[in-house]
C-alpha cells in the first residue's frame, strides 16, 4: 500500500492519500485542505460494476451518485452509506454518460448502442428511450428547467430532446464526434466540445450556433461552466485545460501541469477549484482564479474518465477504467504535508487483486494472485499474518461487520473464512463449480454471499460453514455481490 501526501507549497494545502492495488486498482482516497470547509475524514470506494467505469454524476441534492459502465449498466449509490441502491439494465452496450434531472427523480443515460434512456431510478424502471443518432452516444446534458436533454454522438451531431414527449426538436452539427456537453446555469446556452478541436456555443431556444472557440489542438473531451456562467473550462486530448471568458469568447488562461491527454473536467460549486482527470491516471486540482496547481494525485486508476464535485463542494468523485468508483472526502488538515511517501505495504509475490479494511480501520486485508491473503497493521505498516491454503489466486476479500472474520474467494472455486487477527482458517466453503469472484457479508454478520463464474450466488452460514441456498438466474458470470440489511 502506498500513501502520498502532496505539498502545495505556499498555497493552502490539499493532501491526497491513496490505497491501491496493481491491477484494476481499488483505491481509498482522502483529500484535505486548509482552504476548504471541514467535513471530517470521509473516505470510500464504491464497488459493484463488473467492467470499467465511463461516467459519474451527483444528484442535485448530493445524496446520490450515478455511474455508467462498460458492463452496459448504470448504478445509483447512496452517498451517506456508500451503498448501491439500484442497477439499471437495458442498454445493449457501454453506458458512456449519466445525468440526473434537476429535481433528481430521473436519470438520463447515453450508450454506445446509440440510444438515450430516461429512468425513474427510484423504481428501477425505464421511462423512455430516445432514438435518432446513427452512432454511439458520447455525452449528455440536462437543461436546468428539466425540459430538455442534449445528447452528443460519434455521428458528429447534438440532438435536443423534449423530455415530456420524447421527440427530438433540433439537431446541431460539428465536424467531429461530440464528446462533451454542458448547459449554462440559466439554461439559455449549450456548450459542446468535439473531436474537431472546437468548442461551440448554441442558443437553446432556437438551436442557432452563437460562437466557435478555437485554440485546442486536439479533441475536446470535457467542459464545465462556472457557477456564474462567466467562465467555461475545457479539457482536451492536447493535454491542456483552458479557461474561457464566455462573454468575449476569448481564452483567459491555460492551466499548466498536465502531461497527458485530459479526459474530463469539473468546477467546484463555489467556482474556486478546477479538477481534471487524464489518460496518465492522474487527477489534478487548480485554483480557478490564479491558475496555480493546488494538488496532483497519481495512479488514481487506468484513465480517469469522469470527475464530479458534490453540490456542497465537500466531496469529489472520480471514475476510472478500473471497475471502481473513487470518492474523495475534503477536510481541513492541521499539519502541512511534506510530499513524502508515508508507508508502503510489501510482501505479496504477485499482484494484489483486492483489499478491505476492518471497520475500525486498524487492519487491512489483501488478497493476491500469489494464492495468499495478508493482514496488515495499518498504523505500523507491518504484516500481521499470511493466510495460506487456497489452491488458486485469491481474487476477492470481504470482512465481517465486527472485523473478526475474513472471507476470501479464489480461482480454486472455494470460499475460506479466516479468524482475525490470528489468521487461523475456520472453514472452507465448497459448492461453486467455477471461480469465486465476489464475497460479501450481510450487515448482521449472520450470512455470507459468494458469486461465481458458474453464474450462481450462494448464501452460507459463517457459524457452521453450511450452504443455506443457491440463487440461480444470472446468464453470465457473477462478478459482484452484496447483502442488505
Q: What is the pLDDT of residues 32-60, one digit of tens each?
A: 443 333 333 334 677 788 888 888 899 99
Tell me which DSSP letter residue 47 carries: E
**pLDDT exceeds 70 at position 466:** yes
Cβ neighbour number for residue 37 with a 10 Å cutoff: 12
Separation CA 423–CA 297 (nearest Å): 34
Mean pLDDT of 153-175: 95
- Whole-angstrom Cα Rg for the chain: 23
Greatest C-alpha distance within the chain: 71
Conformation bin of residue 339: beta by default, left when phi > 0, alpha when psi is -120 to 50 = left
Separation CA 218–CA 240 (nearest Å): 9
Task: Answer yes or no: is 424 within a domain.
Answer: yes
Task: Answer yes or no: is 479 within a domain.
Answer: no
Say if residue 366 is in the same domain as residue 256: no
**pLDDT exceeds 50 at position 10:** no
Q: How many domains does the chain have?
A: 2
Separation CA 461–CA 467 (nearest Å): 6
Say if residue 396 is in the same domain as residue 439: yes
**pLDDT exceeds 90 at position 90:** yes
Say if residue 391 is in the same domain as residue 302: no
Whether the model pTM is above 0.85: no
Q: Quote the domain boundaries for residue 406.
A: 345-472
* Cis preceding linkage at 421, omega within 30: yes
pLDDT value of position 331: 40
* Residues 100 and 78: beta-carbon distance below 8 Å: no
Separation CA 159–CA 182 (nearest Å): 13
Segment 301-336, tens digit of pLDDT: 667 778 888 788 777 777 655 444 544 444 433 333
Separation CA 108–CA 111 (nearest Å): 10
Say if residue 354 is in the same domain as residue 245: no
Lowest mean pLDDT among 53-67, 339-353, 461-475: 339-353
Say if residue 137 is in the same domain as residue 270: yes
Segment 14-30, tens digit of pLDDT: 333 333 322 222 233 33
Cβ neighbour number for residue 378 with a 10 Å cutoff: 18
Say if residue 237 is in the same domain as residue 137: yes
Instruction: For residue 278, list its beta bridge partners.
Output: 262
**pLDDT exceeds 90 at position 80:** no
Amino acid at each position: 500500500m502506498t500513501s502520498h501526501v502532496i505539498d502545495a507549497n505556499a498555497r493552502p494545502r490539499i493532501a491526497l492519500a491513496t490505497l491501491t492495488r496493481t491491477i484494476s486498482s481499488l483505491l481509498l482516497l482522502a483529500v484535505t485542505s486548509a482552504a476548504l470547509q471541514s467535513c471530517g475524514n470521509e473516505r470510500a470506494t464504491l464497488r459493484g460494476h463488473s467492467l470499467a467505469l465511463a461516467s459519474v454524476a451527483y444528484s442535485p441534492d448530493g445524496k446520490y451518485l450515478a455511474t455508467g459502465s462498460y458492463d452496459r449498466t448504470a448504478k445509483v449509490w447512496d452517498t451517506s452509506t456508500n451503498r448501491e441502491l439500484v442497477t439499471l439494465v437495458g442498454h445493449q452496450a457501454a453506458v458512456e454518460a449519466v445525468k440526473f434531472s434537476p429535481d433528481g427523480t430521473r436519470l438520463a443515460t447515453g450508450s454506445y448502442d446509440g440510444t438515450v434512456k430516461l429512468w425513474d431510478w427510484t423504481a428501477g424502471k425505464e421511462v423512455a428511450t430516445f432514438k435518432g443518432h446513427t452512432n454511439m452516444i458520447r455525452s449528455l446534458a440536462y437543461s436546468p428547467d428539466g425540459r430538455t436533454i442534449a445528447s452528443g454522438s460519434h455521428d458528429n451531431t447534438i440532438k435536443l430532446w423534449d423530455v415530456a414527449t420524447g421527440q427530438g426538436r433540433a439537431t446541431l452539427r460539428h465536424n467531429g464526434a461530440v464528446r462533451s456537453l454542458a448547459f449554462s446555469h440559466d439554461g439559455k446556452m449549450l456548450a459542446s466540445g468535439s473531436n474537431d478541436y472546437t468548442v461551440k456555443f448554441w442558443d437553446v431556444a432556437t438551436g442557432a450556433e452563437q460562437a466557435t472557440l478555437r485554440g485546442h489542438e486536439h479533441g475536446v473531451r470535457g467542459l464545465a461552466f462556472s457557477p456564474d456562467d462567466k467562465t467555461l473550462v475545457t479539457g482536451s486530448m492536447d493535454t491542456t485545460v483552458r479557461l474561457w471568458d464566455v462573454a468575449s469568447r476569448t481564452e483567459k488562461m491555460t492551466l499548466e501541469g498536465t502531461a497527458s491527454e485530459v479526459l474530463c473536467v469539473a468546477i467546484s460549486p463555489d467556482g474556486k477549484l478546477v479538477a481534471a482527470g487524464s489518460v496518465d491516471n492522474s487527477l489534478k486540482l487548480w485554483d480557478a482564479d490564479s491558475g496555480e496547481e493546488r494538488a496532483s494525485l497519481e495512479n488514481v486508476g487506468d484513465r480517469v474518465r469522469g470527475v464530479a464535485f458534490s453540490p456542497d463542494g465537500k466531496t469529489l468523485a472520480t471514475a476510472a477504467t478500473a471497475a471502481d468508483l473513487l470518492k474523495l472526502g475534503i477536510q481541513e488538515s492541521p499539519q502541512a504535508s511534506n510530499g513524502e511517501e508515508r508507508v508502503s505495504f510489501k510482501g505479496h509475490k504477485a499482484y494484489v487483486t483486492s483489499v478491505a479494511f476492518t471497520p475500525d480501520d486498524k487492519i487491512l486485508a489483501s488478497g493476491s494472485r500469489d494464492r495468499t491473503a495478508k493482514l496488515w497493521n495499518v498504523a505500523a505498516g507491518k504484516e500481521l499474518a499470511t493466510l495460506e491454503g487456497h489452491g488458486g489466486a485469491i481474487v476477492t476479500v470481504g470482512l465481517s461487520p465486527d472485523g473478526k472474520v475474513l472471507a476470501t474467494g479464489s480461482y480454486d472455486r472455494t470460499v475460506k473464512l479466516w479468524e482475525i487477527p490470528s489468521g487461523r482458517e475456520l472453514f472452507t466453503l465448497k459448492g461453486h463449480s467455477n471461480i469465486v469472484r465476489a464475497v460479501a457479508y450481510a450487515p448482521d454478520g449472520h450470512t455470507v454471499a459468494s458469486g461465481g463464474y458458474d453464474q450462481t450466488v450462494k448464501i452460507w452460514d459463517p457459524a457452521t460453514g453450511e450452504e443455506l441456498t443457491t440463487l440461480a438466474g444470472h446468464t453470465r458470470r457473477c462478478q459482484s455481490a452484496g447483502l442488505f440489511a
